[in-house]
Amino acid sequence: MRETWKRFRSILIMALALCLAGSMPAAAAEAAKDKEPEKKPAATVNGKTITRAQFDRQMNGVRQRLLQSGHLLSDVELRDVKTRVLESLIDRELLYQESQKRGFKGDAQAVDGQIAQFKQRFETPEAYQQALKSMNLTENSIRDELLKNSAIDQLVQDRFAKGITVSDEETKAFYKDRHDLFERPERVHARHILVSVKPDASADDKKAARKKIDDLKARVKKGEDFAALAGANSDCPSKERGGDLGFFARGQMVKPFEDAAFSLAPGAVSDVVETDFGYHLIQVIEKKPQETVPYEEVQPTISEHLQKQKMQQKVEEFLTQAKKDAKITRTAVDEL
């Protein structure tokens, strides 16, 4: 749970609202106006109101993300999550207010590009307008919210990111201390042919599917190209790549498939493998043993991570002081 919230908080500190992490509509919803008047705001920051509707939208987004990861909140966790969401909204408002003091207006051109990309998700302009209407939004309200995010990002880059350096000694020390992060497990690069079988398939359908996979196996044995057969006959979307699944480690595939793939030598083709998806033929292209990623390969990533860490620390220090100086009122979490 703690790591989940570090991730969310990092997004906020980088001046991207939590609602932007998922989709444009969620980000835009931050600017929506509720028809029903609110009796009590979630918080006020130097006279600026954080509405209950804003808080509820953020909470809904967080709940959805946690549910997607299979995490159900206990009562204690829910209270903690509410506290963190409220503080994140306050943090974001403080950063925005600071951006305005320093004259940052946001990148209007980049925002227009974001909106254009969002529009492309809809088949027609009418569908786009209907989506906005259903969320009680306008394109201007979306633009305003994204410009706010952009202004915060400009502040962060100018005030907190500028001048940060990471030495070779720091990256090497991180690599040594966190060596476990750079271990790659044994991996297999394979392609497959799938003849799918529905869970409720009849005996005749299963028999037909088995005959098809057996016939394909015979064709492979005769020397026909596995990738070509996969492209023409597989029921898996990977057929567009000749059945290529790329590299995968143990635990990423269903067990019968995994067991067969890891037991094969490069170039070998499996017997028919049955899984809940149907019948498979598997061809192993390449195998890689467990290995440690060389320092030279990960040094740029480590350096970037440490730079962001230092920047985050600067932002945290700013927010700690800003909260002391600001006039903030909060609604009790139990009332939210």
Residue 93 has pLDDT above 60, yes or no: yes
pLDDT at residue 281 in the model: 98
Return the half-sphere exposure (C-beta side, CA atoms, 13 A cut-off) of residue 12: 24
Residue 29 has pLDDT above 70, yes or no: no
pLDDT at residue 211 in the model: 97
pLDDT at residue 74 in the model: 85
Report how far apart, in Å, the C-alpha atoms of 188 and of each of 156, 199, 231, 272, 275 are: 42, 28, 20, 18, 18
Question: By mean pLDDT, which of 6-10, 117-121, 143-147, 200-204 is the weakest?
Answer: 6-10
Q: Which CATH architecture has domain 186-289?
A: Roll (3.10)
When pLDDT is averaged across residues 40-45 and rounded to a whole number, the result is: 93
Q: Which CATH architecture has domain 2-167+301-335?
A: Orthogonal Bundle (1.10)
Report how far apart, in Å, the C-alpha atoms of 261 and of each of 204, 266, 281 are: 28, 10, 10
What percent of the chain clears pLDDT 90, i.e. is strictly above it?
A: 71
Domain residue limits, the chain: 2-167+301-335, 186-289
pLDDT at residue 246 in the model: 96
Residue 3 has pLDDT above 80, yes or no: no
What percent of the chain clears pLDDT 70, i.e. is strictly above it?
A: 88
Q: Which amino acid is at 129?
A: Q
Tens digits of residue pLDDT in 280-313: 999 999 999 999 999 999 999 999 999 999 999 9
pLDDT at residue 297 in the model: 94
pLDDT at residue 141 in the model: 84
Tens digits of residue pLDDT in 177-230: 998 999 999 999 999 999 999 999 999 999 999 999 999 999 999 999 999 999
Residue 46 has pLDDT above 60, yes or no: yes
Residue 244 has pLDDT above 80, yes or no: yes
**Beta-carbon neighbour count of residue 102 at 10 Å?**
11
Q: Which residue has the tokens 């209907």?
A: 130
Show the tokens assigned to 335: 């009332």
pLDDT at residue 39 in the model: 60
Q: What sign has the CA pseudo-torsion 97, 99, 102, 105?
A: negative
Residue 166 has pLDDT above 70, yes or no: yes
pTM more than 0.85: no
Q: In what order do the strands lie in the sheet with 278-288?
A: 244-249, 187-196, 278-288, 273-275
